[in-house]
Amino acid sequence: MRNAFQRVVQAPGLVLAFVVLHLATAAFVGQTVRAAAGASLGPYAVLSDGHLLYSTAALLTKTPEVFMVFRFLLVGSSVVALLFWTLLSAGAITRLNARVPASEVVAAAVRGFPGVAVVTLWSLVPRAVLLSACGAVVAKASGGWKGAALVVAVAVLFYCTCALDLARCHVVLHGARRFHPTTAVRGYLQALRRPGVLGASMLMSLGQWATVLLILFLAGKGLGTASTLWWIRGLSVLGVVLALGRISVAVGAGPPEPAAEAIPETP
CA angle (207 as vertex; 236, 33 as ends), nearest 5: 30
Residue 211: its H or E element: helix 195-221
Choice between 69 and 120, residue whose per-residue pLDDT is larger: 120
Number of domains in the chain: 1
Q: Examine residue 12 and state whether it is found in any structural domain, yes or no.
A: yes
Q: What average pLDDT does this structure show over 206-217?
A: 88
pLDDT tens-digit series, residues 112-168: 999 999 999 999 999 999 999 999 998 888 877 888 899 999 999 999 999 999 999
Under 8 Å CB-to-CB from 137, ≥6 apart: which residues? 149, 152, 153
Q: How many CB atoms lie within 10 A of CB 205?
A: 23
Nearest to 159, CA basis, from 121, 115, 189: 189
**pLDDT above 60 for 44:** no
34-59 exposure pattern, b = at least 16 Cβ within 10 A, e = fewer: bebbbebbeeebeeeebebbebbeeb
Q: Examine residue 267 and state whether it is found in any structural domain, yes or no.
A: no
Domain of 112, in residue numbers? 2-260
Q: Examine residue 47 and state whether it is found in any structural domain, yes or no.
A: yes
pLDDT in the model for residue 263: 43
**pLDDT above 80 for 16:** yes
Q: Examine residue 266 and state whether it is found in any structural domain, yes or no.
A: no
Q: Examine residue 265 and state whether it is found in any structural domain, yes or no.
A: no
Q: Which of 43-47, 64-68, 181-185 has the highest mean pLDDT?
A: 181-185
Query: In sequence order, what DSSP letters do the residues of 35-103 get, joined into one string?
Result: HHHHHHHGGG---STTTHHHHHHHHHHH-HHHHHHHHHHHHHHHHHHHHHHHHHHHHHHHHHHS---HH
The pLDDT confidence band at residue 202, using thresholds 50, 70 and 90, is very high
Tell me the three state secondary structure of residue 130: helix
Phi, psi at residue 222, to the nearest 5°? -125, 40
Q: What percent of the chain has pLDDT over 90?
A: 46
CA distance 51 to 224: 5
CA distance 161 to 137: 20
